[in-house]
Amino acid sequence: MTNRALARVQLLLVVLFAVLAVRQFYVQVIAAPSIAARPFNPRHQMMNVNRGRVLASDGTVLAQTRDGKRIYPFGPALAHALGYVSTRYGTSGLERAYDAALSPADETGDPVAQAQRLWNAIAGTSNPERGADIVTTLEPAVQQALYDQLSRHARGAGVVIDPRSGAVLALASVPSFDPNRIDADFAGIAADASSPLLDRALDGLYPPGSTFKIVTASGALESGAVSLQSSFDDPGFFKIGTFTLHDDEGEATGRQTLDGAFALSSNVDFAQIALKMGADAFYDTMTRWGIGAALDFQLPASPARIPSKDALTPGELAQMGFGQGALLVSPLQMALIASTVAADGVEPRPFIVRQTVAGAHARSVFSSAPLTTPISADTAAQVKKMMIDTVRFGTGTSARIAGVVVAGKTGTATNPFGRAHSWFVCFAPADHPRVVVAVIVENAGYGAEVAAPIAREVLRTALQSSTS
């Protein structure tokens, strides 16, 4: 081989070595943090041996790692809120949202930290780094009560909130799954037609039915379209052009004031109220409530879906007045709507994680600032009175609790795919609300017959809880 040929080979080797060095520098230093953070990275999963715990508001362990395995003591009851950690399927729920905090500090790409760790190991002073614990607002007794009540039915969801702060006390969805068996069961539950992996409390979107009369009534009062003394006539049906809408099962509430129309849940009266408000005022009301906007929550949650105002017909506006038509909301959205009335017109910012704790250092991770103030305190007081009367003598009497004044609203939401969905939203004690409950049971019929008794039992448990 000539000297010139040898020089070319040497140059090629130098170039290849340089390319390899640059590539290695990029992978180990520049791209290392993002690669390490991937939930499917085997190194990331090995670090989960020292993953932090998830704790309830009272310190009860909700998730922890033991003998290299992630353990979920509450099993299916908290599967959607907590999520899971899997070497095969990654992470979900709080395990995903707070993965960076729960995972031990990753020193990939930090040669100084790696050298220090090596020195500590040689010196015999090395201790495995643990991830931070996260402290949630969840109350175990309330969570278990909500899940147990919902589990008597095929599909449903519920949310429990402290309206004073926005703290989520419970969050449940059925059907559920066992996060302790996620690797073994994932293929089956992913193929299940009932969608056990769907968090119906946050991502289930349903017509709200008559529970949405809370929003319609507040908007009509705020705009001056009606007052508590306004009267309406309900013969059981209402014609809008060639379209005729009806109350449920041929009911007719006759002549009522706004309070009576709300408590007895007249669709005919609320259709008239929506039309009297007009599309502009109705949509302005939804905008002020944040309905249709992204929900500011520590877990992903689907925003409500509302039809375009531009193409809205009078018949569609009338149906939206009592929570039907193309309007779709989540249980979390309805819990926030009830919380706003309970909190004198101030919509609290919901949160489910209170703080992260790493060793002796605790850090708050939520904002106490409210989301918005969609209605005045005076309007909230008037709507609260109507909700109290709903439970006192209206459609919500099945939610009564002895010695406690409960405010609530039933909903029976028709849908094109089967039997109506059963809704109930409520709060108590009505004079100084501490607990809000929103419940939906899919295809279960009247809200008063199915959802209201569930909400009553959950409300009873929450009021008895020492930290509520």
Which of 276, 268, 284, 310 lies closest to 215, judged by CA? 284
Task: Tell me the pLDDT tens digit for each residue of 133-164.
Answer: 999 999 999 999 999 999 999 999 999 999 99
Task: Tell me the pLDDT tens digit for each residue of 365-399.
Answer: 888 899 999 999 999 999 999 999 999 999 999 99
Determine which of 118-122, 248-252, 448-452, 456-460 has the lowest per-residue pLDDT on average: 118-122
pLDDT attached to residue 70: 96
Q: What percent of the chain has pLDDT over 90?
A: 74
Name all domains of the chain by residue range, CATH numbers in brackets.
36-136 (3.90.1310.10), 140-177+192-353+369-464 (3.40.710.10)
Task: Tell me the pLDDT tens digit for each residue of 65-84.
Answer: 999 899 999 999 999 999 99
pLDDT attached to residue 243: 79
> Which pair of structure tokens corresponds to residue 50?
């020292």
Residue 204 scores a pLDDT above 60: yes
Contact of 448 with 420, CB cutoff 8 Å: no
Which pLDDT band holds residue 28 (cuts at 50, 70, 90)?
Answer: low
- Amino acid found at 35: I
Rounded to an integer, the average pLDDT of 445-467 is 92
- Amino acid found at 106: D
pLDDT attached to residue 359: 86
CA distance 295 to 202: 10
* Close Cβ partners of 306 (under 8 Å, ≥ 6 residues apart): 283, 286, 291, 292, 320, 326, 327
- Amino acid found at 32: A
3-state secondary structure of 137: coil
Strand-pairing partners, residue 134, are 54, 356
| Residue burial 239-262, b: 16+ Cβ < 10 Å; e: rest | ebeeeebebbeeeebeebbbbbbb
Contact of 264 with 253, CB cutoff 8 Å: yes
Sole residue written with tokens 């509302």: 306
pLDDT attached to residue 368: 87
